[in-house]
Structure 1
Amino acid sequence: MTERDATPDPKSVRILIADDDPGLLESLRQLLSLEGYPVHTANGGGAAIEALRQESFDLLLLDLSMPGLGGVDVLRFMRAADLETLTVVVSGNSTVEDVAGALREGAHDYLKKPYEPAELMATVRNALQRKVLEDTNRAMRARLEQSERLHRVIVNNSPDIVFILDADKRFRFVNSRVHELLGYSRQDLLETSVLDLVEADERDKAEYFFDQARNRQTHLRSVELALRPARHSRTRRFFEVAVWPAGAGETHDHGGHEALTYGTARDITDRKESEAFINFQAYHDLLTRLPNRALFRDRVDVAISHAQRSGTRLAVLFIDLNRFKVINDSLGHTVGDRLLQGVAQRLQDCIRKGDTLSRFGGDEFTLLIPGLADNDAAVHVADKILESLQAPFEIGEHELFVGASIGIAIYPDAGDNLEALIKNADIAMYREKSTGRTGVRLYSPEMGGHPPQRLQLEQDMRRALDRDEFHILYQPQIDTHSGLMVGVEALVRWDHPRLGLLGPAEFIAIAEETRLIVELDRLTLRTAIREILHHNREGRPELRLAINLSPVLVERDDFVEDFLGILGETGFPPDLLEVEITENLLMSDTVDTVHKLNRLCAAGVQIAVDDFGTGYSSLSYLQKLPIHTLKIDRSFTHTICQEDEACIVNAIISMARGLQMNIVAEGVETEAHRDYLQRLECPMMQGFLFSPPAPLHALLTNGDLVAATATCQ
Structure 2
Amino acid sequence: MMKSTESWLGSEFISQSTGSRENVATTAATMPARILVVDDEIRMRESVRDLLEAYGHASLIAANGYAALEILREHPIELILLDLNMPEVTGLEFLDLVKEDFPDVDVVIVSGEATFANATEALRQGVSDFLRKPYSPVELLGIIENVLKKRTLEKDIKQVHQKLEASEYRYRFIVDNSPDIIYMLDEAGYFCFVNDRIGQLLDYKQNDLIGHHFSEIVHEEDVEKAKYAFAERRTGDRASRNVEFRLRCKDNTQPSRYFESRTVSIELNSMGIYQETGSNDKCFVGTYGVARDISERKRAEEIINFQLYHDLLTQLPNRALLRDRLGLAISQAKRSGTQLALMYLDMDRFKVINDSLGHVAGDQLLQTVANRLRNCLRDSDTLARVGGDEFNLLVPEVSGRVDAIRLVEKVMANLKDPIFIDGVEVFVSFSIGIAIFPDDGESMDSLIKHADIAMYHVKRHGKDGYEFFTNSMKGSADQHLSYDTGLRRALDEEQLQLYFQPQIDIQSGMISGMEALLRWKHPEAGIISPTEFIPVAEENGIINEIGMWVLDSGCAELSKWIKAGHSNIRLAVNVSSKQLAQTDFEHHVFNIMTKHGIPGSSLELEITENVLIQDMDQVVNQLRKLHANGVRIAVDDFGIGYSSLGYLQSLPLSTLKIDRSFISGIRASSSRNSIVTAIIAMSKELGLDIVAEGVETEIQHQQLKRLGCPNAQGFLFGRPMPKEHVGLFLKKGYT
User: Shorter-chain-normalised TM-score: which range?
Assistant: 0.3 to 0.5
Structure whose alpha-carbon radius of gyration is higher: 2
Using CA pairs under 8 Å that are at least 6 residues apart, name the structure with larger relative contact order, 1 or 2: 1
Normalised TM-score (structure 2)? 0.42
Normalised TM-score (structure 1)? 0.43
